[in-house]
Structure 1
């Protein structure tokens, strides 16, 4: 977006400069046709007309310079009414920028000087008045068109803002509906699956207990059912936590990294967290993604790396946040890694933000997760 704005500004400056050159060329050509202007006359014309190139950034300064230069040319060379054209353009630009009083003052000054020159040099007073009144009409038109242009630009900005507000409202409505749907799914899962899995786990546990009490061998299938039901229960609770946490606490981010680290240590993980670089507020999507990546990586350490010693490093740079999690688990280089929902979810979050993710065994043993998240986000993830 910033690059597009720079391109638009560059094209606008080029267009303004081109128009100023065209005005200077037209007035110079008229002066050459009407008489033989001297070096001073050409200098005044060039300065007054070329100054119009800066009318957007400094409309009052351009108006003052153009008016004085063209008035000096009128007093020195006694040209026709076409000499007022650069001043008309400057008055139009001043009115469009909201400096109507400046435009009125510059127009009055130029008309006074023009009328005085005509009164002294023209033989017919009636022609002098008619030419001055005609030029007055042109100045009024320049001021009115400038105001119309100003109002039109304001209307366009308001229309664009209303469109942006409407789009933002639609996005907020969609996010709210998505949140409501996630809460509904969480309730349904809790009311149905949690109950059913709890019964399976309970029945399997009772069967194992009775078998051991009778002194009979417990069937491997029964033990597998007990273990699988317990694992399913843990996975379901984790899923429900994610569903509800992302909806109820949309601000979950690195401000809660200490709480996450403390929970991991309570679970038996020897964890160290370091932060380097200029720590500062992050875009919400980046903040949430970084938190979730650390959370999922620590969950994997607890489940698959036997709660191995782990380090979490957060590195802030001007353009990106790097999240690096290393554990000293049993994984070794060359091991085949089965990509589960956890790593898949990490990759989806990072990809949505336009970042990169590397997750693989470490050469020295253990597992490493490294995510680089650009601070200019390409999307939004919850």
Structure 2
């Protein structure tokens, strides 16, 4: 069973005469433009249970529709006629969850044939089991399609079945009104159930879109933050290049003219690049955000992070494996931010946990891992944060890899591999 679209708007205040004619034609003749809605489309075991239940009901109602005329109706109809009518009236219930409108049309034709063929002195021309099957099929029709189709099915059921049952078969008027009321109630209930599931799926779809938008916004914000942080690093190096190129002619008195021109060209290029960098990064800063006035942090401040996490209630052990070596500012800053965000997440979602932080200096990559063993007290409600999004953006910028997920036997682990970038 396929899921159904959630962009329908079947709830209408009323119908004009033309709309009513259209609804009757849609229900009785025309094929629907969209597949029927499916209750609980994501729960397979519920669908199987529904299929077994409906199949059992269809078998029971069909058998009852055969047995009741042959044993209760007086005069007794021909056996073959009773079997054919039963197969038309009750058997379509077996496929009503999948094709409700087709099941309703076949069952309605069977009931109309019964009203026309069994016109003897019966209280009503249909076995009670066939009417029960028809009522269940009406419910699936109202659930599966928009309200105009349900209204058309109701009008045809009342005008095309109950009225002939009263006029042709001699069914009492008051009993026909009861049957008409049952039709209205069943269709109203099915319409309410279908509308509820439509609204739930629409809300779920909107929530998924909202999460995608939030994740996209978080990535953009993180990229802007990375650009602002790296600006200070790049600006420092460009300033050094400009100053050294400016001082070179004074440090080397006998510098050839060609070399002087080269240093002047390097100096001017460095200044222009620095100016353009500041102009571009300035666009990324918010109006109330000034330039950073202290150096960007790195792994030399790892102990500060560990101390802050301990004050937040975590039990943190930190280890540096391998021989520390100089790394680029981007790698150093990204490693620090990954540890910072991981400890912040552990403090929020695993309060009181024991956390292991490891910084491993490998041959080609700097590996950072943060693992906790799960919360000791009630964690914060999930959602609202995009720490992993920021980590992935930083790692992707450096061409590294990041893995994050549940740890064994419990807890959470984050592992990042950051290439040195000096090869």
TM-score, normalized by the shorter chain, greater than 0.5: no
* Structure with the higher fraction of residues in helix conformation: 1
Higher relative contact order (CA 8 A, sep 6+): 2
